[in-house]
Structure 1
């Protein structure tokens, strides 16, 4: 499926930043004044979220539509490049399981993104955050969310050109509409990979706990990094808990490690969220958990494609237990990080190791060696990646 633009341009009066303006295509531009009115002066009463990139407000646009208005802070980790990436990545694609970008504002020092408003916030604030949500996620709803996210990723990985690697698939970036349909959001870290390239060597960015170790350590980015992240997310949805929780006993703190331990003991069903009170399909739940283990295997080439994941989740492809190998576990990843830092003094790596239950949006970024600090491409496309 090809990408297509669907946003109209507005008059140059809304274009206040020539440097950014040059990089924006096919996107409606809002004035700062109209977004101020839409949010009642960006009032705290309309604030619906906050993260490393700034605050999100609910607003009502002049056409009557409600919108989620993402105001990037001056200290935001999302720089001009990431801002343009998010705009141009999402502006030209449409899918049921992707957020819809209405437009943006680039007046003076203001950088604001305007998205469709989604009534039920994110999975991090509802299902896996252990917070104050009144939403009950029954088993059928969880299945629909898993399949929806998988379909959205399969679309990005296989149906658009150039293909898109999201790089930050996590519970806080999966938003839910009024019907609890999942929408993948926040494309600020997304990378485009040309169809004749096998991978991108790039600065590492993402969230600890969801990061594929081969990417976190070496900066080698392929679609399989997203698939690893999806595998972790799948575990979270089935279990109803964050991937890391330092409040639990040591043997249960890391969700992926716990899943592997239960799998080896043939007790995977013990990972299913107890809040379901036994009202779930045990065979299907174990199948979903096995799929998550397939997605998080240590070798990227052993991880299935997202289209295969969709087929397995929907019962159109069998899950082959014999192909499940040990996942890249968090403890192994941290050990490798320490060794890598000791071996290579020219790598400047910083990890935020806060528990995901304590800080769902703990993010990290690292520099890869100077030879690959600028994004580079390797030719000879490998369909397995």
Structure 2
């Protein structure tokens, strides 16, 4: 892990000492600044307050080891980290993703930058492949549950390729911090219904959140109403496909996405498909 370690001086220099103009976003336990490394690479630096991180050093380092092992074209790449006792913060240095997160492209007004249908289809397929990588087990890479799949955690690069962010981040955080971040997920409808009784995240709870995400992408809306869900079940496209597309979409593909989203958001986790089955369904010919 030594090759992934940055020092505080590099972090301060990259962010111009955390200049307010470089602040990209903030939450209760973290902040993200845009920065530039000495070699000219543009990065996003997430600072996490130490009290939100696991106090047991061995557990924290184990989590960092997992994060640095993740490599996939649909995940935001972690370049390194820096832990500063003096500032009481841990810094995670990620590749900067220029087009922001998917939330920016929902609830758009006609005439704004509306994502076309092929871009939406590509985003859905890319997210599914990123989740498939996380859920899979490989040498030096355990099977992982993302736990916080949402439009905020789907970043879009210069070609609008989707990259999942915060993958494995819960491995570094205290249980209280992870739990407090659930409020936003619950408000957006990402939390699988079984969580209320089990209090556990599983691959099937990731699948549920992915299904909600698919509904959001094809409808262009943050909130997917129950009436729109009924429309998806009957493939009444006019009632659940983003009207900003002005009917410029593939009906067969829309029906496939609706089917996938409905399967993924089934009330019973046992009835939801695995991510491998989802990817297989998405890759099947439209015929």
Q: Contact between 2:232 and 2:240, CA under 8 Å: does it hold in 1?
A: no
Q: Contact between 2:228 and 2:239, CA under 8 Å: does it hold in 1?
A: no
Q: Contact between 1:97 and 1:184, CA under 8 Å: does it hold in 2?
A: yes
Q: Which position in structure 2 is the counterpart of 1:363?
A: none
Deviation at residue 317 of structure 1 after TM alignment: 8.8
Q: 1:98 aligns with which of 61, 75, 78?
A: 75
Report the TM-score, using the length of structure 1 for normalisation.
0.64
CA distance in 2, matches of 1:290, 1:242: 19
Deviation at residue 134 of structure 1 after TM alignment: 5.8
The 5 Å alignment of 1:315-334 reads 315-316=284-285
Per-residue CA distance 1:133-182 (angstroms, 9 max, x = gap)? 96431000000000000000011112435210111100001111111111
The 5 Å alignment of 1:6-21 reads 9=2
| Structure 2 unmatched ranges of 5 or more | 173-177
The answer to whether the aligner puts 1:145 opposite 2:131 as a matched pair is no
| More displaced 10-residue stretch of structure 1: 300-309 or 263-272 | 263-272
Deviation at residue 267 of structure 1 after TM alignment: 1.8
The 5 Å alignment of 1:1-385 reads 9=2, 28-73=4-49, 77=52, 79-80=54-55, 87-108=64-85, 109-124=88-103, 126-128=104-106, 130=108, 135-160=113-138, 161-186=141-166, 187-189=168-170, 206=182, 207-208=185-186, 209-243=189-223, 255=224, 257-316=226-285
CA distance in 2, matches of 1:264, 1:234: 14
Deviation at residue 214 of structure 1 after TM alignment: 0.7
**CA RMSD, 1 decimal:** 2.6
Per-residue CA distance 1:217-259 (angstroms, 9 max, x = gap)? 312432101000000001001111113xxxxxxxxxxx15233
| More displaced 10-residue stretch of structure 1: 143-152 or 58-67 | 58-67
Larger Rg: 1
Deviation at residue 263 of structure 1 after TM alignment: 3.6
Q: Counterpart of 1:118 in 2: which secondary structure?
A: coil
Deviation at residue 312 of structure 1 after TM alignment: 1.4
Deviation at residue 91 of structure 1 after TM alignment: 0.6
Deviation at residue 120 of structure 1 after TM alignment: 0.8
Q: Which position in structure 1 is the counterpart of 2:175?
A: none
Per-residue CA distance 1:248-283 (angstroms, 9 max, x = gap)? xxxxxxx15233322455424421111111111122
Report the TM-score, using the length of structure 2 for normalisation.
0.84
- Counting helix residues as a fraction of each chain, which structure ranks higher? 2
Deviation at residue 97 of structure 1 after TM alignment: 0.4
Q: Counterpart of 1:114 in 2: which secondary structure?
A: strand
For this pair of structures, how many residues does the alignment match? Answer: 269
CA distance in 1, matches of 2:272, 2:203: 10
CA 183–304 in structure 1, closer or farther in 2 if over 3 Å, else same: same
Q: Counterpart of 2:79 in 1: which secondary structure?
A: strand
Q: Contact between 1:30 and 1:103, CA under 8 Å: does it hold in 2?
A: yes
